[in-house]
Amino acid sequence: MPIIKKTLIAELLQEKHLITSEQLVAALQEQKNSDKKIGQILVDFGYIEEPKLLQLLSEQLQLPYIDLKNHSLDPQIVKLLPEFYARHCRAIVIEKKNDHLLVGMVDPQDLVALDEIERVLKVKVDLALIRENDLLDILNDFYRRTDEISQLAESLSEDIKHDDLDIFSHMHDFSSEDLPVVNLLRSIFEDASQVDASDIHIEPGENIIRIRLRIDGVLHEQILPDQSISKALVQRIKLASGLNISEKRLPQDGRFSISVMNKKYDVRVSTLPVQYGESLVMRLLNQSADMLDLNQLDMPELVLYEYNRLLTISYGLLLIVGPTGSGKTTTLYASLNKLNTEEEKIITVEDPIEYRLPRINQVQVNTKINLTFASILRSILRQDPDIIMIGELRDQETMEIALRAAMTGHFVMATLHTNDTISAATRLLEMGAKGYLVASVLRGIMAQRLVRRICDKCKTDDTLSENEMAWLKTIERHDKHFTSFKNGAGCSYCHHTGYHGRVGVFELLSITDELIDALRHDNISVLSKLATPQPHYKPLVLSGLELVYNGTTTVREVIRMAGEV
């Protein structure tokens, strides 16, 4: 066992005048009421920066400090220490050197944990100091459920007979753990939860099944052998969703709820008959997440200020536009969260209801019983609402009722599938709305997209290719911004993609007197020219480039977005 010199970090910090006596007393008082280490408390209180604390610990313990986010790790080496011990002992195997292993520990002075690590590894261990947050991120990446999913799928494949795929016909409790297929599904959901996936795709192929997770808008694939497994998985999900398990020729939609890793998800299910069976897609809606605040959406300051002003208007129509997956729902719910007060009655018409909000009356569209957007809206107007949210303006009838509601003293928010703000105004006219009616009620249009955010852990300088630079010069006809660019090198934290998370790109158009006059006369051709002088208005591509210039995203991401625009 390595020799570890015991030390009281708080005393060392005080000796080096990095903290005061008063700060130490406050931290010690807090420690009595928590199970945190004194060093972590000092960091949480802001008395010392974590890098300084780690550097001091490294010097005092005479152990190297290793920055995991910038260190290349071998998955096979990492997994020499089973996940249970890695999490329990807060440790990770960093590299193998001849006959011994270098192990990083959050607390190298935890001798009990060190004994346990050496007992499990059965080799000589050298120690290094690591940061706890980096360790947790890495463990979630390296100890994903992919191996477990493969093993369970193999076991399930052996158990399934082609003539007994109805073994779930009497099993409706999704939390049951007594069937291999349920264990496999739970591992898939845990893997998706661990990497914050937004969708799970289960796709049958010829003698294989593809499990694909959408992470930050991009699919990541795992291929499993034996296509027959998909029949059991789809049948089990159908049962949980209340769908017809005997119907395999027609698409079906359903939903169910599930708790995974202390998170509660509302799962929207869609099935589609394909060549080798049924393709199944599940949208994961995290009900445990706090409802977003508009200030958390990273809108530019001028855009946020103007958008908040539009939300204070007592009546009229506010449109949120963009393609599927552009973040419209997030903006809508954050807006409703701001407007949700005791004084306002809010009614929504949605298909489907994605998040359940207190105090808000949410109505689910059901076309099977003719409960359509239009029929619901007609009834809503007799419910004395102050604010109405419409999930989507899908047809002329819905659009006309929405305009009528906005004209008669209601504040109406709605989404529309168009590319940008100017084309949204055009779409309303194309759907049959009269120009003078649109001009009298339309207050503003917000267009948006999502682009991937460069991983902060591996962000580095980037050089654009000739094609990227040529594209950039066609958009920006001057070189004032063409100085430096950033990119993600790829690390464990971002699954070696160079990106982690997404950020919104916004284009906000407020309807001014000049725009009202143009709409009233159906003069769409001048809308773009009239929008330009607004200080908060910036076309989507230029808004995306602002994120490039401040190092938030890459030119490649904006080019991808521009392809949609």
Q: For 522-531, what is the mean pLDDT?
A: 80
Q: Cα angle vertex 367, ends 364, 369, to 5°?
A: 95
Q: For 527-540, what is the mean pLDDT?
A: 86
Other Cβ atoms within 10 Å of 359 Cβ, number:
10
Partnered with residue 350 across adjacent β-strands are 364
Q: For 419-425, what is the mean pLDDT?
A: 89
In 3-state terms, what secondary structure has residue 93? strand
* pLDDT value of residue 97: 83
| pLDDT tens figures, 51-64 | 777 887 887 888 88
* pLDDT value of residue 291: 62
| pLDDT tens figures, 106-122 | 888 888 888 889 888 88
Q: What is the CATH number of domain 144-286?
A: 3.30.450.90
Instruction: Report whether pLDDT(164) > 70.
Output: no
* pLDDT value of residue 172: 43
pLDDT band at 374 (very low <50, low <70, confident <90, very high): confident
Q: Which residue has the higher pLDDT, 7 or 180?
A: 180
In 3-state terms, what secondary structure has residue 281? strand
Mean pLDDT, the chain, whole residue set: 83
Partnered with residue 311 across adjacent β-strands are none
Beta-strand (E) ranges in 123-207? Answer: 124-129, 199-204
CATH 3.40.50.300 domain span(s) along the chain: 294-450+502-540
Residue 132: which residues within 8 A CB-CB, separation 6 or more?
A: 40, 90, 106
Instruction: Report whether pLDDT(21) > 80.
Output: no
* pLDDT value of residue 183: 82
Closest CA to 54 of 37, 33, 71: 37
Q: Which residue has the higher pLDDT, 371 or 152?
A: 371
Q: Which residue has the higher pLDDT, 39 or 474?
A: 474
Instruction: Report whether pLDDT(159) > 70.
Output: no
Instruction: Report whether pLDDT(70) > 50.
Output: yes
* pLDDT value of residue 544: 93
Is 153 within 8 Å of 226 (Cβ atoms)? yes
DSSP label at residue 290 = P
Q: Give the torsion sign (CA, 246, 249, 252, 256).
A: positive
Instruction: Report whether pLDDT(170) > 50.
Output: no
* pLDDT value of residue 148: 64
Is 269 within 8 Å of 201 (Cβ atoms)? no
Q: What are phi and psi of 536, to 5 degrees?
A: -95, -5
pLDDT band at 150 (very low <50, low <70, confident <90, very high): low
Instruction: Report whether pLDDT(18) > 60.
Output: yes
Determine the residue type at 367: T
Instruction: Report whether pLDDT(565) > 60.
Output: no
| pLDDT tens figures, 444-454 | 999 999 999 99
Written as six digits, the tokens of 280 are 């199944």
Is 380 within 8 Å of 345 (Cβ atoms)? no
Instruction: Report whether pLDDT(279) > 60.
Output: yes
Measured torsion, CA atoms of residues 106, 111, 117, 122, in degrees rounded to the nearest 10:
140
* pLDDT value of residue 556: 92
Q: Which residue has the higher pLDDT, 521 or 318?
A: 318
| 6 vs 107: CA distance, rounded Å | 11
| 61 vs 213: CA distance, rounded Å | 42
Helical (H) or strand (E) element with 111 = helix 111-121
DSSP label at residue 195 = T
Q: What are phi and psi of 23, to 5 degrees?
A: -65, -40
* pLDDT value of residue 74: 83
* pLDDT value of residue 317: 95
Beta-strand (E) ranges in 407-542? Answer: 411-416, 442-454, 459-462, 485-488, 499-510
* pLDDT value of residue 223: 87
| pLDDT tens figures, 74-89 | 888 888 888 888 888 8
* pLDDT value of residue 306: 95
- Specify the fold of 9-141: GMP Synthetase; Chain A, domain 3 (3.30.300)
| 28 vs 141: CA distance, rounded Å | 35
Q: Which residue has the higher pLDDT, 196 or 141?
A: 196
CATH 3.30.300.160 domain span(s) along the chain: 9-141
Is 433 within 8 Å of 399 (Cβ atoms)? yes
* pLDDT value of residue 10: 66
Other Cβ atoms within 10 Å of 263 Cβ, number:
15
Q: For 31-38, what is the mean pLDDT?
A: 71
Instruction: Report whether pLDDT(244) > 70.
Output: yes
* pLDDT value of residue 262: 82
Q: Which residue has the higher pLDDT, 15 or 354?
A: 354
| 140 vs 284: CA distance, rounded Å | 19
Residue 420: which residues within 8 A CB-CB, separation 6 or more?
A: 321, 447, 507, 539, 540, 565
| Burial group, residue 424, by CB count within 10 angstroms (0-12, 13-18, 19+) | buried
Question: Which 3-state string (H, E, C) describes 153-164?
Answer: HHHHHHHCCCCC
CATH 3.30.450.90 domain span(s) along the chain: 144-286
Instruction: Report whether pLDDT(160) > 60.
Output: no
Closest CA to 133 of 192, 69, 183: 69
Instruction: Report whether pLDDT(45) > 60.
Output: yes
Instruction: Report whether pLDDT(139) > 70.
Output: yes
* pLDDT value of residue 178: 44
* pLDDT value of residue 154: 65
* pLDDT value of residue 163: 41
Instruction: Report whether pLDDT(173) > 70.
Output: no
Residue whose pair of structure tokens reads 């192990």 in the numeric block: 103
Query: Percentage of residues in the chain with pLDDT exceeding 90?
Result: 26
Q: Residue 322: left if φ>0, alpha if ψ -120 to 50, beta else—which one? A: left
Q: Which residue has the higher pLDDT, 512 or 46?
A: 512
The lowest-confidence range among 39-43, 281-285, 419-423 is 39-43
| pLDDT tens figures, 190-238 | 889 888 899 999 999 888 889 999 988 888 888 888 767 788 888 889 9
At the top level of CATH, the class of 294-450+502-540 is alpha beta
